[in-house]
Amino acid sequence: MSILIDSWSKFYREDACKRAMQALQFMEKRDMTPNLITYNTVLNVLAKSKDPLAPMKAEKMIQRMDKNGCEPDVYSMQSLILAWARSRIAGAPQKVEQILQSMEEKRNIKPNTHCYTAAIYSWGTSTEQYRAIRGYRLLQYMNQIEDDGLEPNIVTYTTALNACSNPLPGEEDESYHIACLIMEEIYFKENLKPIFLTYAAFFSACRHDLLSADLMKEKDEMMQHVFNRCIEDGQVGQLVLEKFKTAATNKLYHSMVGKYTRFNKLEIPQEWNQNVKGEKKEIKSNEKMKQHQRPLDLEHPDVVAALKLMKNKSQS
């Protein structure tokens, strides 16, 4: 049954979570005691599902583990945190922080980087006040703890930047300043390499319609500095360009990329995006047509063999 549960965990079907939980219940009812790996597999599926009740179900599963004498580990609690972080239920960020605190105080489990990154994500996707500063405080806490296993990575920093991108009215300037602090910290740490999502998240926090007039000049200078670094890093992906265009004034945008526009089509130098990885690039319809309209290579070995076969059939 553990193999069956593991198989369901690797499916991307909507009912994968339901099937995995049914298999687990089958084991429990027939005294087939699930082990830690089995419970963690189901918890992971549950955390990544779209089930609106996933956090509550994950809570009950942790309780069942305790009842059955299967002590949860850091990966069990990581899935529980992720379930709450993805839920967007009111009060979810506070709940996540409670779980983080209880891990060390009650269970003697040290939260890992993924746990804190999920906690920052929870603040960023919530509708709570001051989510940018609350996410940043968690990031600072990680940096203050002298623990190699809790060092924030570029995903953590990018998640903290995302928490600055949709501030509530009255929090725009503060969120922007926090985003600038986060970018400076990234540049200060030699082991961190910003990816295109990092730059896109920063520019999302710089939208010109969010900031006060006093910050506009300062913001343009900062955006120019960051965009130049993005070029140096070869991370100017399509998403970065879209976010930069939305955030920049027309003057700044045209000064940075205007000369690469020909007949309303932007063609940036290849080295600008040479290090972009993981971004889906759609092939335009006219390019697809060109691919289909390419002449047949009559010298290709497969084509030669096919033509020879057709010739032999016609002669027989």
Whole-number pLDDT of residue 148: 64
Task: Identify the three-state secondary structure at position 262.
Answer: strand
In sequence order, the β-bridge partners of residue 266 are 261
Whole-number pLDDT of residue 288: 39
Buried b / exposed e over 253-290, threshold 16 CB at 10 Å, is beebbeeeeeeeeeeeeeebbeebeeeeeeeeeeeeee
Please report, for the chain, how many H helices and E strands are present, in that order. Answer: 16, 2
Sign (positive or negative) of CA dihedral 247, 162, 232, 281: negative
* Amino acid (1-letter code) at residue 302: D
Whole-number pLDDT of residue 170: 87
Residues whose CB is less than 8 angstroms from the CB of residue 171 and which lie 6 or more positions away in sequence, other chains included: 129, 130, 132
Whole-number pLDDT of residue 166: 87
pTM check: above 0.85: no
Whole-number pLDDT of residue 157: 97
* Amino acid (1-letter code) at residue 261: T
H or E stretch covering 261: strand 261-262
Whole-number pLDDT of residue 214: 73
Structure tokens at 287: 């390019």
pLDDT (tens digit, 0 to 9) for every residue of the chain, 316 residues total? 444 444 444 444 556 666 677 676 667 667 777 889 888 988 988 898 888 899 999 999 999 899 888 999 999 999 999 999 999 899 999 999 999 999 988 888 999 999 999 999 999 999 999 999 999 999 999 998 866 678 899 999 999 999 999 888 888 889 999 999 999 999 999 899 999 999 999 999 987 666 667 777 788 899 999 999 999 999 999 999 999 999 998 899 999 998 888 877 889 999 999 999 988 764 333 343 344 334 444 454 544 455 455 445 445 5
The neighbour count for residue 293, using CB atoms within 10 Å, is 7
Residue 213: Cβ-neighbour burial (10 angstroms; 0-12, 13-18, 19+) = exposed
Upper half-sphere CA count for residue 282 (Cβ side, 13 Å): 5
C-alpha 30 chain-centroid distance? 39
Sign (positive or negative) of CA dihedral 90, 94, 96, 98: negative
Q: 193, 116, 198: which is closest to 165 by C-alpha?
A: 198
Contact 211, 219 (CB under 8 A): yes
